[in-house]
Amino acid sequence: MHWHETENDRQMPWKGEKDPYKIWLSEIILQQTRVDQGLKYYEKFITVFPTLKDLATAEDDTVFKIWEGLGYYSRCKNLLETARYLYSEKKSIFPSNYEEILSLKGIGSYTAAAIASFAYNLPFAVVDGNVYRVLSRIYNEHTPIDTTNGKKLFSTLAEKLLLTSNAGEYNQAIMDFGAVICTPAPKCSNCFYSSHCLAFKVGEQNELPVKLKKNKIKERWFNYFLLSHNGSILLHQRTEKDIWQQLYEPLLIETDKDADKRFLSKLFRQKTGIDINLQSSVISKSQKLSHQLIHFRFYDLQPNHQISVENYSWISKTELSLLPFPKEISEQLTAFSNQPI
């Protein structure tokens, strides 16, 4: 706490914030997101939706468009669901006790503790990646943090150490300490606590924290057909439980491996009833998600009429900027339509 009060100069717009709505927004945005990336999204959300009511009453596409590029779109879906629940059932009043906060859609134990302590100074310890790293090194604790035993051990330890009289400031202090000093490549020479750090004493600080699980990466091949006719493009909104739910995309044919143009022409005919000869150049990209590697192929086609495909609609290119798209698709459509998407 002394370091936090005298030396910690880490600046973020939500630090010291007491409005639970803004704290909740910042925490949801920062899940699986670096602070430097999430900052501009937080500021945009606060500008466009300054109150919970503003967010709750907004159109889905409007909210998802602002979220576009941030990834993990289920967070945005849960954000909307919770905002609308609080608006309609709780008169836009954010709950002020931990259990009720935890019961809200998209909020886990970490986020609930953050909101409870930062907004209401309730005595709940926040345990994020920074805290795991600090505690594992100070105590030279090698129990893997991604196991049930590890999560319980570090959560119990964090609660034991919590300065209950000033929980919000203490939580911010230990998180900032992990972000500024006890970083993945630790700055031990600048650390006031190194003489008390058990891992530093035995030279094991770089080995901590320990993780057991390694994500198995699933590869997928997304073959997109940019069909345009008379200033419109054929699009579909992803509604199934999968990545990018509620975002838009051009005509998609997914394959389980990299398919040649002849095979894709056959699949295209089965989907649309139209014969094509894929001779045009194809744009290839890849994007790595947390558990998936997506390979993109984009084919530019101009049929002589607006073909009909189930669950797809023809949408004017001038309307594309109003719709949310996955990042790679948005970039390709921008080039395709010669206007920002």
Q: Which single residue is written with the structure tokens 């970083």?
A: 183
Copy the structure tokens of residue 317: 């290119």
Phi, psi of 48 (to 5 degrees): -80, -35
3-state DSSP call for residue 129?
helix
Evaluate the omega torsion of the peptide bond into residue 209 and state whether it is cis, within 30 degrees of 0.
Answer: yes
The catalytic residue among 5, 7, 17, 27 is 27
Residue in 269, 249, 257 with CA at minimum distance from that of residue 311? 249
Instruction: Say how far apart CA 59 and CA 255 lie, in whole Å.
Output: 33
What is residue 188's DSSP assignment? G
Per the CB < 8 A criterion, the answer to whether 208 and 142 are in contact is yes
* C-alpha atoms less than 13 angstroms from C-alpha of 29 in its C-beta half-sphere: 25
Largest CA distance in the chain: 75
Residue in 273, 134, 271 with CA at minimum distance from that of residue 191? 134
Copy the structure tokens of residue 74: 């289920």
Copy the structure tokens of residue 51: 């109150």
Instruction: Say how far apart CA 112 and CA 100 lie, in whole Å.
Output: 9
C-alpha distances in angstroms, 159 versus 70, 149, 165, 178? 32, 15, 13, 17
- Can 27 be counted among the known catalytic residues? yes
Instruction: Say how far apart CA 256 and CA 261 lie, in whole Å.
Output: 15
Instruction: Say how far apart CA 335 and CA 321 lie, in whole Å.
Output: 13
Instruction: Say how far apart CA 201 and CA 77 lie, in whole Å.
Output: 46
> Which residues are known catalytic residues?
27
